[in-house]
Amino acid sequence: MSNSAPAPLAAAASLAVGGSLESSALGGRATARPGPTQLMHEVGIMQSILAVAEQQARAAGAVRIHQVRVRIGQLAGVVPDSLQCAFEILRPPTLAAAARLEIEEIPPTCWCAVCQREFASPELWWQCPRCGAASNELRRGRELELASLEVE
């Protein structure tokens, strides 16, 4: 590749976050400084993200990653500040050594079977704001995806 502007690279990789890690392991979303246990969780996740990012970048013939964009559901059990910290720690020996991490947080979105509509649910109480019916279908909010890469 030439030294021209970095090219976007779609990375269609989803990282599964299973069962107990999703909402119970961290006791909900943290807003304080990450503790050692939280950081350990995000270090493992970031190791996987960087491994997939490098694999995708190398497959595209890239020599450098300029930006890593991830999508994280607010109910995925991942603390964005801890993930950013893990990125800063792990990126130096990789193609992403000088890269930026962009984190897009995805709010919980539910489905109302009565109204046949989606609705945002900032709380863990999933009640349709239109008709008041309880929802048992979470459509978004648990994602953990490597959404795209900007490479050279």
Residue 84: CB atoms within 10 A of its CB come to 15
Per the document, the length of the chain is 152
* Residue of 27 and 60 predicted with greater confidence: 60
User: In this predicted model, what pLDDT tens digit does every residue of 30-84 receive, in sequence order?
Assistant: 334 455 556 678 999 999 999 999 999 999 999 999 999 999 999 999 999 999 9
User: In this predicted model, what pLDDT tens digit does every residue of 104-126 receive, in sequence order?
Assistant: 999 999 999 999 999 998 777 78
Are residues 82 and 31 in contact, defined by beta-carbon separation less than 8 angstroms?
no
Are residues 75 and 138 in contact, defined by beta-carbon separation less than 8 angstroms?
yes
* Residue 93 confidence (pLDDT): 96
* Residue 126 confidence (pLDDT): 83
pTM of the model: 0.73
Alpha-carbon torsion (1, 151, 16, 128), positive or negative: negative
- CATH code assigned to 7-151: 3.30.2320.80
Domain residue ranges of the chain, discontinuous segments joined by +:
7-151
Residue 51: CB atoms within 10 A of its CB come to 14
DSSP-derived secondary structure letter, 46: H
One-letter amino acid for residue 89 of the chain:
I
